[in-house]
Chains A and B, each alone.
Chain A
Amino acid sequence: MTITAPPEFEQVVARYEPVIGLETHVELGTNTKMFCGCPTEFGAEPNTQVCPVCLGLPGSLPVANKAAIEATIRIGLALNCSIASWCRFARKNYFYPDMPKDYQISQYDEPLCVDGYLDVEVEGQTVRVGIERVHLEEDTGKTLHLGGATGRIHGATESLVDYNRAGIPLVEIVTKPVAGTGALAPEVARAYVTELRDIIRSLGVSDVRMEQGSLRCDVNTSLNRPGDDWGTRTETKNVNSLRSVERAVRSEMLRQASVLDAGGTITQETRHFQEDTGDTRSGRSKEEATDYRYFPDPDLVPLAPDPAWVEELKAAMPEPPRVHRERLREQWGISELDMQSVINAGAVELIEATVAAGASPDAARKWWLGELARRANETGAELAEVGATPAHVAELQRLVDEGKLTDKLARTVLEGVVAGEGSPAEVVAARGLEVVSDTGALTAAVDEAIAANPDVAQKVRDGKVAAAGALVGAVMKATRGQADAKTVRELILSRLGAV
């Protein structure tokens, strides 16, 4: 079988219908692990956040973390799921060195939350993504592979295991198959993960940072010809950013189409997304069917969430991000189109926080979508990581409003803030950037300019007010831009008796 060159995406969706599915793992931001009292902080020295339970020492026993159960129920509620009235943890048995007990405590046929949905917006269309289940399990440890070329497991001669992450509560959210999205499939996948991330962030149950691995995504993709049954799906793992979610679906659609076009068949397999090339690669080829021998974990007792407890949690749910965004849009008085660019820039919460810190919605939007978005773009950073905080931006704007900074100066100050020189006030002080508002000094500069440009001054005196611009320029030059142009102009006009 020869694989033909990748066909163009448009041609693919003309011939095939994609079906996608997503499995998302979210590490909860609880204080302690799922079944023991070990802390969960990111980045500790290896094997310093462990105890007999999460190391799987003989004799140790798990006790479930109430906060993790609560967080999972809240995620389930936010995704419109039914909450099970009775469910159990099961053991998923397989040997792997990053799993201390050589079984993972997970939920199998009795998940905590089932049968929900999440509506996402793509190109003005609302797509309903069905949620199959939301369940709770424990994370594994972290393995360092040595002796290989790139730290990968392939070719490694030995590995080192750190169990700090082992046992961190992990929520798995599985969608139902999403069909009928056609060419939008890659964007739907991305929009779904984005919306899911926003929801989980709004619940405050996880910091959902893909780059730290607290939100991880597996993407299922299949193609079928119109009218045919759904095709064989592949599962792409290792998809670690929102952009990658979209790319993974797109590239897998292209790859499968070229196989099918050549008369080949799709193998049900695990594939790995390649961040550098943007395509997917087959996992281990000689993978044998694993028998996980699930059974209810006899060390744990069933969970039977009290309906009153669930109601209490439901009553305390924050506004869904979609509703919240619509409310913000109205408050900010902007169009849906403008709001969309705020959302696309990932600036909703930043602007909201900036407004909360005292800036006007317009000013907040101006800074985040303008200067700061440009900076983020240049450095490839997330907007939230660009170096300025909502508090910084609000302070900056206040300085402008108080006339202590001009717009131009403010941009310079922001540069300093982004460079880590401190708050706007600190940058102003350190760099000596404050507007020259000392009227004495400014009057002197104005008088100097008038003296140096008698012709221009005369024109102004004669009523040609527009000519004052040249004088303003001269004053600004003399004060190295640190004066407020408007004030300068007023001063000139009053000195020349033109007002």
Chain B
Amino acid sequence: MAAISREEVAHLARLARLAVNETELDTFAGQLDVILQAVARVGEVAAADIPPTSHSVPLTNILRDDVVKPGLTRDEALSGAPDAADGRFRVPRILDEEA
């Protein structure tokens, strides 16, 4: 049985903001299925009493003093912007028209 359906792949693409086309959807569905079946093996060994490791270095409480540091100028901040206006980043309308 497939681990992931074509509909699920379409949902993931939506969540990840990827406008995948129909052909890609099929390709990804097949490939993700193979990969997921392979990686699902992690479930074989990891028992409930094993603590998870999120970092290889067991550091805690890495904190910064509350002191202002120089940042970027506005020109630097906007230098990579696809579009800017009035010192701000310009984006197209946020809501869909029918909303």
Contacts and interface: CB of A to CB of B under 8 A. Distances in A.
B19 interface: no
Contact of A65 (B60, B61, B64): B64
B63 A97 contact: no
B22 to A, nearest CB: 21
Interface string B35-71: 0000000000000000000110101111111111111
Given A47-B74, A156-B93, A160-B90, A37 B69 contact: yes
B61 A303 contact: yes
Given A38-B71, A160-B90, A64 B66 contact: no
A66 B63 CA distance: 5
Interface stretch (A49-57, A116-124, A357-365, A436-444): A49-57
A347 to B, nearest CB: 32
B91 A97 contact: yes
Nearest to B86: A160
B78 A47 contact: yes
Contact of B88 (A55, A161, A304): A161
B66 A32 contact: yes
Interface residues of A, number: 56
B68 A38 contact: yes
B66 A66 contact: yes
Contact of A63 (B63, B71, B78): B63
Given A45-B87, A160-B86, A298-B55, A32 B92 contact: no
Given A36-B69, A48-B74, A157 B63 contact: no
A154 B95 contact: yes
Contacts of B90: 158-161
B1 interface: no
A50 B87 contact: no
A32 B86 CA distance: 25
A9 B94 CA distance: 38
B35 to A, nearest CB: 18
Nearest to A55: B77
Interface residues of B, number: 35
A291 interface: yes
B84 to A, nearest CB: 8
Given A39-B68, A64-B63, A97 B94 contact: yes
A447 to B, nearest CB: 69
A304 B60 CA distance: 6
A451 interface: no
B91 A301 contact: no
Nearest to B80: A57
Interface string A298-312: 101111111000000
Interface in A39-81: 39, 45-52, 54-55, 63-69
Contacts of B54: 88, 296, 298
Interface in A416-474: none
B71 A50 contact: yes
A39 to B, nearest CB: 5
A95 B64 CA distance: 28
Contacts of B59: 301
A30 interface: yes
A30 B66 contact: yes
A162 B88 contact: yes
B74 A45 contact: yes
B62 A301 contact: yes
Nearest to A66: B63
B16 to A, nearest CB: 9
Given A156-B93, A159-B94, A66 B86 contact: no
A160 B87 CA distance: 9
A284 B99 contact: yes
Contacts of A153: 94-95
A317 interface: no
* For the complex of A and B, 9 pairs with smallest distance between CB atoms: A37-B69, A51-B71, A67-B66, A160-B88, A66-B63, A304-B60, A301-B59, A161-B89, A63-B64
Given A54-B71, A55-B77, 5 more contacts: A31-B66, A47-B89, A66-B63, A145-B94, A159-B93
22 contacts: A32-B67, A36-B69, A47-B74, A49-B71, A50-B71, A55-B77, A63-B63, A63-B64, A65-B64, A66-B66, A67-B65, A69-B63, A144-B88, A160-B86, A161-B88, A161-B89, A285-B99, A300-B62, A301-B57, A301-B59, A301-B61, A305-B61
